[in-house]
Amino acid sequence: QVQLVESGGGYVQAGGSLRLSCAASGRTFTFSNYAMAWFRQAPGKEREFVATTTSSLSGGNTVFADSVKGRFIMSRDNTKNTVYLHMHSLKPENTAVYYCEASFSRGTVPKYVTYEYPYWGQGTQVTVSS
């Protein structure tokens, strides 16, 4: 089992920045073997892909949704079992609960859909005011 705990959400004005963190833990757990992703879900909408990075052993290939490309950065620190989502130039439409998700995978092909990730955290709320 893998436990994920997100933090860093909050309230920010449009144009501002936030950094989300996701700390992973588990028994016999090697963080570098896991593909990690961020998804988000706004009220009344389905969960949508934001960003993903493949496992470090497969090259750490990072991909972003078109809507956040150039504004969001995803990074991971394998020494801390933590992945980050750096969000810049935030817009009101970025308001959502952001979820960190994990999948044991050494593949090089990024995963874009939430059902490919068997582990996820409780989410952290991001609210962007206009």
Q: Tell me the pLDDT tens digit for each residue of 26-59.
A: 988 899 999 999 999 999 999 999 999 998 888 8
Residue 106 has what pLDDT?
79
Coil, helix or strand at residue 58:
helix
The terminus-to-terminus CA distance of the chain in angstroms comes to 40
The amino acid sitting at 51 is A
The amino acid sitting at 104 is F
Distance CA 69, CA 99 (A): 18
- Give percent of the chain with pLDDT exceeding 70: 100
Helices (H) and strands (E) in the chain, counts: 0, 11
Distance CA 6, CA 11 (A): 15
Coil, helix or strand at residue 98:
strand
